[in-house]
């Protein structure tokens, strides 16, 4: 929403600037009185030496607007990711257990399965890499885990998209089975999946092999038709469960996310204030210098008036 607002504001400014810069003299004469055109030319002549400062002020105002528009997004991230999702902001997990990978991969389409599985690397317990990861993922000491190897943002976004669709497919399938059997699976349509025991979900893996492929395909098709925001929401929920399974301290993760985002908000606010103060300083300097030159030229013009006697009347 913020990007749309900024784009509309920039487009409106550009339309007005283009209307002034690229209008022909005839058009200006038709739309503006001659006196106003003369005054504008006079003002532009005095402002021309300060063109760099004026452009800098415009850029500072643009930066101030961007800072102010980003503050609601940062606050929204604190509420959605920091409070609601326990500090988990990425839809696809950076680390996932072996059983978790088997569960998610079961609902990844065949065309995307190779891409998804190749984005993760299996880390065996007892290895040097597992020992280095134990501080963040304590379960790495006792079980094999998969670590995300994608580095660039585009690859992570693609993996998150596949992961979110697969997680939603599993959820839709389990909800359908729960409605048919009348059993409580620990989650509902509105809130997504609840804090269920992961062992309960992994116990369903053998059962998934007996489910008709048409039912799984139907759930995957229904999931692909949903909005990407729902994929991200369900993906983050599953990621939180997988992190909890690996022993991640979600409380520390939540506090760290909230503090870091709060510091980012403070920095953005300070930048906005600095931009506003700078614009006020530069604008006052330019206005005072322009007024000084105007007064000097007016005084010189008045002093240049002729003091000779007027000619005799005819």
Question: What is the total residue count of the chain?
Answer: 314
Q: Compute how many other C-beta atoms are within 10 angstroms of the C-beta atom of residue 271.
A: 16
Tell me, what's the pLDDT at 10? 54
Alpha carbon distance 171, 226 (integer Å): 13
- pLDDT score for 170: 87
pLDDT of residue 147: 93
Who contacts 85 (Cβ-Cβ below 8 Å, separation ≥6)?
A: 236, 237, 240
- At 67 the pLDDT is 92
What is the span of the domain harbouring residue 205?
95-248
9 and 39 part of one domain: no
Predicted pLDDT at 271: 95
Do the beta carbons of residue 123 and residue 133 sit within 8 Å?
Answer: yes
Domain annotation covers residue 255:
no
pLDDT in tens, the chain (314 residues): 444 544 554 555 555 444 444 444 555 455 545 444 566 677 778 788 888 988 999 999 999 999 999 999 999 999 988 888 888 888 889 999 998 898 898 899 888 889 999 999 999 988 888 888 888 899 888 889 999 998 888 889 999 999 999 988 888 887 777 776 655 554 544 444 656 677 777 777 777 777 888 888 888 888 888 888 888 888 888 898 899 889 999 899 999 999 999 999 999 999 999 999 999 999 898 888 888 888 888 788 777 765 555 566 65
Global confidence as pTM: 0.71
Residues 243 and 99 in one domain: yes
Residues 102 and 203 in one domain: yes
Domain shared by 104 and 204, yes or no: yes
| Claim to verify: residue 40 and residue 170 sit in the same structural domain | no
Which of 69-100 are b and which e, b meaning 16 or more Cβ less than 10 Å from the residue's Cβ? bbeeebeebbeebbeebbbbebbbbbbbbebb
Query: What total of structural domains would you count in the chain?
Result: 3
Q: Are residues 99 and 244 located together in one domain of the fold?
A: yes
Query: Is the same domain home to 165 and 205?
Result: yes
């Amino acid at each position: 929403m913020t990007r749309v607002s900024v784009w509309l504001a920039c487009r409106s400014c550009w339309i007005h600037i283009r209307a002034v810069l690229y209008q022909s003299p005839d058009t200006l004469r038709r739309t503006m009185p001659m006196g106003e055109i003369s005054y504008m030319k006079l003002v532009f002549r005095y402002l021309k030496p300060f063109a760099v400062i004026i452009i800098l002020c415009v850029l500072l105002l643009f930066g101030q607007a961007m800072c102010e528009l980003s503050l609601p997004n940062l606050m929204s991230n604190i509420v959605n990711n920091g409070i609601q999702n326990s500090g988990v902001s990425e839809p696809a997990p950076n680390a996932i257990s072996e059983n978790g990978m088997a569960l998610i991969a079961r609902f990844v389409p065949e065309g995307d399965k190779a891409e998804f599985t190749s984005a993760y690397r299996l880390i065996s317990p007892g290895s040097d890499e597992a020992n280095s990861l134990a501080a963040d993922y304590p379960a790495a000491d006792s079980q094999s885990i998969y670590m995300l190897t994608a580095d660039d943002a585009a690859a992570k976004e693609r993996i998150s998209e596949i992961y979110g669709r697969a997680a939603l497919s599993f959820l839709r399938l389990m909800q359908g089975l729960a409605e048919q059997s009348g059993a409580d699976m620990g989650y509902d349509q509105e809130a997504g999946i609840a804090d269920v025991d992961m062992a309960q979900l992994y116990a369903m893996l053998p059962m998934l092999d007996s489910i008709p492929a048409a039912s799984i395909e139907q759930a995957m098709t229904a999931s692909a038709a949903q909005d990407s925001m729902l994929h991200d929401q369900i993906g983050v929920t599953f990621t939180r469960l997988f992190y909890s399974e690996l022993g991640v301290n979600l409380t520390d993760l939540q506090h760290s996310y909230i503090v870091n985002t709060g510091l980012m908000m403070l920095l953005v606010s300070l930048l906005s204030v600095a931009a506003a103060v700078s614009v006020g300083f530069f604008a006052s300097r330019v206005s005072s210098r322009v007024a000084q030159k105007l007064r000097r030229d007016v005084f010189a013009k008045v002093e240049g008036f002729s003091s000779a006697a007027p000619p005799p009347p005819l």
